[in-house]
């Protein structure tokens, strides 16, 4: 039985396939990729458990150890009855947004005589750690799935161009450690409840030209270690709330053409170890409070000529300000 030792399977461009069901148990499969299945409507992850003449046979998981699933360009696909509970990492690209409805996950089977057409499940899959969403529509269903997955640790949201704000369902993700928001062109601000993501350690917000500040609740992000910002085209000044991020160790500002000033309150970032400034042409000087940052070990400045002129070692007029930093690189 060849499927028993399979650890990775990729199925691509099955134009005529509509249903995947009645599968054997893939006892070793750890990774499954479904690419460009234009007509695939259903993927059944359990073996026969259907009723025939009133007799129900035992339903078995087809993928008992599956930990990684990638679904790309399957606009009609729905997973039934739910994703395998062993799943650690999930990636959806340009696919059916129904995949993100709470139906997709379930731990306990519901009793057979309970019927409801709207799947409203309380418990969530116990171990989903990573979710990547690329080019997924967001506005209508608001990604209710996320509400129940409080164990999620890494969330990537990329190229979701119809998203104007982050869906509320993300609010509950209290275990979230890393949040990537990339290329969401219509995203106009970060949500007020951002501070509720108490475990957040790394926040990366790239290519979101409409965003220019952080919400006030950000001061509650006491675990935040790394903040990296890129292409915030409208931002003129780093938001004040940054002074409360006292656990921040890495701050990276890249391609912010409107940024002219770094506030003095940056001196409050007592844990800051590395400060990176790349391609911020309008930034001409660094705040004096930089001298108070005793933990600062690395300062990297690139393609910012105003700063380069001023702080170049020995040459620039103000290089005293940064002379206490062990590793200064300016190019």
Partner 1 sequence: MSGMEAALAFGLSKVVGNKLVSLVSSEFAAITGVEKDLSELQSLHADITSWLSMLHDRAMESDPSLRWLIKLRNLLNDMYDLLDEVYLQDEKQRVDRDHGKHAIAVWFCGKPKLLLFRWKVAHKIKAIKVEFDAIVNQKSDANTILHNLHLDQLIQSKNKITREPSLLSNNKESKIPSRDHVKSEIILELVASKKGEAGRIVSIVGLGGSGKTTLAQQICHDDKIKGHFKGRIFWIHVSQEFCRDKLIGKLFEAIIGQKSDHHAQQHMIRVISNKLSGNKFLLVLDDAWHEDRHDWENFMVLLDNGAPGSKILLTTRNQSVLEAVESKAIFKLAYLSVDESWSFFLKTCGWVEEDLSYAFIPVGKDIVKKCGGVPLAIKTLGSVLWERRGINTWRAIRESNLWDEENIEARVFTSLKLSYIYLKDHLKQCFTFCSIFPKGCKINKHYLIEQWMAHGFIKLKKEELAHDIGNEYFDSLMRAGFLQDRVETLPQRSVSCKMHDLIHDLTHYILQNEVVTSQPKNMTDSSQNCRYLSLTSCSGNVERALFYKVRAVHVSGGNPSFDNLVKKSFYVCSVVLDYAVDTPFPLFVLKLEYLAYLEIHHVSCPKLPEAISVCWNLQSLHFISCKGCDIT
Partner 2 sequence: MTLPESIGKLKKLQTLEFNYITDLETLPQSIGNCQDLQSLQLNYCEKLRKIPSSVGRLRKLRVLHIIGCSSLQQLLLEFNGELSNLMTVNLHGCCGLQDLPTTLSCPKLRTLDLSETKVTVLPQWVISICTLECLYLQNCEELLDLPKGIINLKNLEVLNLVGCSKLQCMPSGLRQLTRLRNLGSFAVGCGGDDARISELENLDMISGHMEITNLKYLKDPSEAEKAMLKRKNIWSLDLSWSSSQTKEELVSDVEQDQCVLNALEPPSKIMFLKICGYRGPILPSWMVKQNDSSCCAGILFKQASLCPFFL
Compare residues 109 and 305 and give the one whose CB is closer to partner 2. 109
Please say whether the beta carbons of 218 and 200 come within 8 A: no
Ramachandran assignment for 207, one of left (phi > 0), alpha (psi -120 to 50 degrees), beta (any other) = left
Decide if residue 121 touches partner 2 (CB under 8 A): no
Decide if residue 9 touches partner 1 (CB under 8 A): no
Compare residues 234 and 300 and give the one whose CB is closer to partner 1. 300
Alpha helices, H only, 186-287? none
Tokens read off for 144: 């209710």
Q: If contact means CB under 5 to 8 A according to the sort of partner, which of partner 2, partner 1, none does residue 22 touch?
A: partner 2
- 200: buried, middle or exposed (CB in 10 Å: 19+, 13-18, 0-12)? buried
Decide if residue 329 touches partner 1 (CB under 8 A): yes
Q: If contact means CB under 5 to 8 A according to the sort of partner, which of partner 2, partner 1, none does residue 202 touch?
A: partner 1
Among 75, 81, 215, 257, binds partner 2 (CB under 8 A): 81
Decide if residue 239 touches partner 2 (CB under 8 A): no
CB of 324 to partner 1, least distance (A): 17
With CB under 8 A as the contact rule, which of the stretches 105-113, 196-204, 212-220, 263-271 interacts with partner 1?
196-204
How many residues touch partner 1 (CB under 8 A)? 17
Size (the chain), residues: 331
Per the listing, tokens 């600062």 go with 296
Please say whether the beta carbons of 211 and 190 come within 8 A: yes
Phi and psi at residue 264, to the nearest 5°: -65, -25
- Rounded CA-CA distance 318/312 in Å is 8
Compare residues 234 and 297 and give the one whose CB is closer to partner 1. 297
Among 36, 134, 220, 273, binds partner 1 (CB under 8 A): 273
User: Which parts of 83-122 interact with partner 1 (CB under 8 A)?
Assistant: none
Ramachandran assignment for 117, one of left (phi > 0), alpha (psi -120 to 50 degrees), beta (any other) = alpha
User: Under the rule (CB under 8 A), what is the footprint of partner 1?
Assistant: 30, 67, 153-154, 177-178, 201-202, 204, 226, 249-250, 273, 297, 300, 327, 329
């Amino acid at each position: 039985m060849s499927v028993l030792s399979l650890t990775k399977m990729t199925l691509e461009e099955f134009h005529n396939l509509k249903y995947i069901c009645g599968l054997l148990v893939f006892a070793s499969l750890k990774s499954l990729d479904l690419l460009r299945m234009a007509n695939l409507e259903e993927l059944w992850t359990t073996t026969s458990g259907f009723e025939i003449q009133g007799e129900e046979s035992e339903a078995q998981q087809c993928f008992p150890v599956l930990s990684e699933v990638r679904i790309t360009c399957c606009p009609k696909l729905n997973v039934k009855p739910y994703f395998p509970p062993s799943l650690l990492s999930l990636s959806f690209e340009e696919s059916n947004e129904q995949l993100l409805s709470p139906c997709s996950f379930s731990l306990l089977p519901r009793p057979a005589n309970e019927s409801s057409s709207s799947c409203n499940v309380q418990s969530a899959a116990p171990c989903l750690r990573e979710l990547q969403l690329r080019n997924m529509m967001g506005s209508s269903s608001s990604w209710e799935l996320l509400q129940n997955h409080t164990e999620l640790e890494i969330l990537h949201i990329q190229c979701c161009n119809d998203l104007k704000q982050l869906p509320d369902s993300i609010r509950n993700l209290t275990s979230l450690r890393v949040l990537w928001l990339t290329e969401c062109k219509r995203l106009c601000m970060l949500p007020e409840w951002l501070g509720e993501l108490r475990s957040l350690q790394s926040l990366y917000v790239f290519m979101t030209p409409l965003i220019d500040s952080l919400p006030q609740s950000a001061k509650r992000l006491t675990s935040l270690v790394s903040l990296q910002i890129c292409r915030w085209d409208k931002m003129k000044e780093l938001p004040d709330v940054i002074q409360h991020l006292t656990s921040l160790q890495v701050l990276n500002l890249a391609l912010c053409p409107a940024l002219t000033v770094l506030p003095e309150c940056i001196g409050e970032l007592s844990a800051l170890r590395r400060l990176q400034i790349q391609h911020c042409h309008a930034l001409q000087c660094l705040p004096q409070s930089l001298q108070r940052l005793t933990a600062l070990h690395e300062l990297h400045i690139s393609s910012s000529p105003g700063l380069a002129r001023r702080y170049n070692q020995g040459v620039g007029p103000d290089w005293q300000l940064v002379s206490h930093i062990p590793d200064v690189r300016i190019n």
